[in-house]
Structure 1
Amino acid sequence: MASPHVSGSRAGGSPVASSGANAGADRTTPGRIGLPIFVDGMAALIDRHPYDAFIVDLWGVIHDGEQPLPGVIEGLTMLRDAGKVVCLLSNAPRRAETVAARMREIGIDDGLYTHLLTSGEATHTALSDRPDAFHQSLGHRVLHIGPPRDVDTVSAPGLVPVERAADASFVLVTGIDDPDETVADYADVLADAAAHGLPMVCANPDLVVVAGGFRAICAGALATHYESLGGKVAYHGKPHAPVYDLCRSMITRTLAGRGVAAPRILGVGDAFRTDILGAHNAGLDSMLVTGHGIHTGDLGIDADGRPDPVKLEAAIEEFGLRPTLVMPGFRPA
């Protein structure tokens, strides 16, 4: 298994980086940066952009935590029927089967996608297999910061949960207990862990999530604060390249059986900081989905999910990242 990213880089800055193989392609350019190619829906994506496989975010693209987003079931069905491989990649700090079970509950069946990987699954595997020097050095006494629902990630063989930093050999952060909480609510426990020199494993690099229209902080916000205290953090999940390597391996194995030796892969998501940066780090083309999710309040989204071109260009400038494509929603058209 690939090693995690330890105390990693952040999105942002200049010059603007374009994703993947199409990075040098001509674009419509209302300003000096230029905008990505706009795609109305899945039909146009399949017809005009010959990708073999898709690495697709969940929250803000496939569902909102409570139900599938409009058109998603039909869009996934179109990709499946066109013979495309879909690998769902989520920064959910829970194991893949737990996430798959929740998707089945809200109407997203297993047959609509090919593979599923979560940052929680990658974390659990790393804490079980100890694939590198960092994980081998962690010990087994874990101070877990996160809700009880993340217990499957904490249940790696040999881990001994403890209640105090003084008794721990490392910290595992998976999230917050209550959606109203802020980083300030965890300041004391994080300061105590940093004072004891504990390394941290972050099972969800996201800073925030939008669930049912409500915005809440994620484990990544706590990990970022911990780094500011001088703590060392290993991240499992987007935007760090190792999870994309795992997805690419699954996709390659599937398509090798169909005679596709070098699959063309598109990374899809709603967030510049994780999905678009992650695709860029992995050398993949990327597609920003704008109709729902993290940037809807910033991009001047119209009733059809299309972003305001000026605001989109400003976001590209802010994050220093230009997606290859933009689509209003993961929908048929």
Structure 2
Amino acid sequence: MSVPVLMEAGALLARYDVLISDVWGVVHDGVLALDPACEALMRYREGGGTVVLLSNAPGPSAQIAGVLDGKRVPRAAWDRLVTSGDVTRALIAETHLRKAYHIGWPQDRAVFEGFDVEIVGEDEAEFVVATELNDYRKEQPEQYRPLLSRFAARGLPFICGNPDLVVHVGHDLLPCAGALATIYEELGGHVAWAGKPHRPAYDLALAAAREARGGRDVDPARVLVIGDAVRTDLAGARMMGFDSLFIAGGIHRDETIRDGSVVPDGLARVLATHRPLPVAAMAALG
């Protein structure tokens, strides 16, 4: 069974009441907004649909909304924004621990704001929060293995604030905190995953959709997940029982796109082990 490849998404989107859309790779490319995608979402909203952006970005949604503004993603393209940072904050609160070792950019420390949590060195740490690599342009996840081995040997809880393994920044494919969490689990450590494809992220997204719809319930059969990652977006849709639209020109583009168009054989290989299949695929949302 093959997946239909669409050139235009409007008719498909109109079949659904709620879109849960990935952000990086669908709405922007890490540098600037993808205008056709934003225009498609705005048209959908003008027709009465609700758009929840669900991002594995490690910052709280209020912070990431400002980042989207800077990338020229129009506010008219979405109703609500839910991030891994929001889930991370909930997980930090649940630990009841005070001394955290942070891996990631200094600006990611917004996830700790409002908590009685101190950022400490390795020896003092009671738990670990990884939002990104410290410098994902220069570092590789394997460089962290010795540090992660020491934390795992001590049995420290590890919160992964961005479950993505990699992300495109323009034309570069760069590692994310999910790669560190994968190593930590290989070492026998316990990881709490704060984002897609795990249920807490989708529970927050559905709550946001209900709020945007004035409290009306959301029928799972009328929810469409839009995303570019098999491991997170499509797996999350499958776990929740939602339909999905696969954007082939995101992180899998080297396997699925040639000269701007979807390559059927490449698409089939990427989706070979994923069931159920997406309802459709596109090179880019538009």
TM-score band by shorter chain is over 0.9
1:227/1:220 CA distance change after superposition, 3 Å: same
Partner of 2:225, secondary structure, is: strand
**Partner AA of 1:96 in structure 2:** S
1:303 paired residue number: 259
Partner of 1:38, secondary structure, is: coil
Please give the per-residue CA displacement for 1:116-139, whole angstroms capped at 9, x wherever unaligned.
0000111113323x2xxxx34xx2
1:40/1:283 CA distance change after superposition, 3 Å: same
Once the 2 structures are TM-superposed, how far is the Cα of residue 163 of structure 1 from its aligned partner?
Answer: 0.9
Please give the per-residue CA displacement for 1:86-133, whole angstroms capped at 9, x wherever unaligned.
0000000111111110111121132321000000111113323x2xxx
1:246 to 198, 204, 212: 204
Distance 1:84 1:242 in 2: 23
Structure 1 window deviating more from structure 2 (175-184 vs 55-64): it is 175-184
**Partner AA of 1:140 in structure 2:** R
Stretches of structure 1 that go unaligned for 5 or more consecutive residues are 1-33
1:196/1:46 CA distance change after superposition, 3 Å: closer
**Partner AA of 1:201 in structure 2:** I
Say yes or no: does 1:182 pair with 2:149: no
Once the 2 structures are TM-superposed, how far is the Cα of residue 253 of structure 1 from its aligned partner?
Answer: 3.4
**Partner AA of 2:84 in structure 1:** S
Say yes or no: does 1:42 pair with 2:9: yes
1:226/1:51 CA distance change after superposition, 3 Å: same
Stretches of structure 2 that go unaligned for 5 or more consecutive residues are none
Once the 2 structures are TM-superposed, how far is the Cα of residue 54 of structure 1 from its aligned partner?
Answer: 0.3
- Structure 1 runs of 4+ aligned residues shifted over 6 Å read none
On the 8 A contact 1:191/1:229 being kept in 2, the answer is: yes
1:121/1:45 CA distance change after superposition, 3 Å: same
**Partner AA of 2:181 in structure 1:** A
- Give the number of the structure whose residues are more often helix, by fraction: 2
1:321/1:175 CA distance change after superposition, 3 Å: farther
2:271 to 295, 316, 319: 316
**Partner AA of 1:84 in structure 2:** G
Once the 2 structures are TM-superposed, how far is the Cα of residue 37 of structure 1 from its aligned partner?
Answer: 2.8
2:86 paired residue number: 121
Say yes or no: does 1:202 pair with 2:157: no
Distance 1:44 1:280 in 2: 22
Structure 1 window deviating more from structure 2 (237-246 vs 177-186): it is 177-186
Question: Which structure is larger by alpha-carbon Rg, 1 or 2?
Answer: 1
2:242 to 273, 284, 287: 284
Partner of 1:184, secondary structure, is: helix
**Partner AA of 1:35 in structure 2:** S
Q: RMSD of the alignment, in Å?
A: 1.8
Once the 2 structures are TM-superposed, how far is the Cα of residue 260 of structure 1 from its aligned partner?
Answer: 6.3
Once the 2 structures are TM-superposed, how far is the Cα of residue 69 of structure 1 from its aligned partner?
Answer: 1.6
1:168 to 120, 125, 136: 125
Once the 2 structures are TM-superposed, how far is the Cα of residue 152 of structure 1 from its aligned partner?
Answer: 0.3
Once the 2 structures are TM-superposed, how far is the Cα of residue 44 of structure 1 from its aligned partner?
Answer: 2.8
Q: How many residues align?
A: 284
Once the 2 structures are TM-superposed, how far is the Cα of residue 170 of structure 1 from its aligned partner?
Answer: 0.7
Partner of 1:322, secondary structure, is: coil
Distance 1:162 1:143 in 2: 5
Structure 1 window deviating more from structure 2 (196-205 vs 180-189): it is 180-189
1:192 paired residue number: 150
On the 8 A contact 1:42/1:78 being kept in 2, the answer is: no
Partner of 1:317, secondary structure, is: coil
**Partner AA of 2:26 in structure 1:** V
Distance 1:319 1:155 in 2: 38
Structure 1 window deviating more from structure 2 (185-194 vs 272-281): it is 185-194
1:237 to 162, 170, 195: 195
Once the 2 structures are TM-superposed, how far is the Cα of residue 251 of structure 1 from its aligned partner?
Answer: 1.3
Partner of 2:146, secondary structure, is: helix
Once the 2 structures are TM-superposed, how far is the Cα of residue 321 of structure 1 from its aligned partner?
Answer: 5.4
Once the 2 structures are TM-superposed, how far is the Cα of residue 72 of structure 1 from its aligned partner?
Answer: 2.2
On the 8 A contact 1:127/1:156 being kept in 2, the answer is: no
Q: What is the TM-score when the length of structure 2 is the normalising length?
A: 0.93
**Partner AA of 1:294 in structure 2:** I
Q: What is the TM-score when the length of structure 1 is the normalising length?
A: 0.81
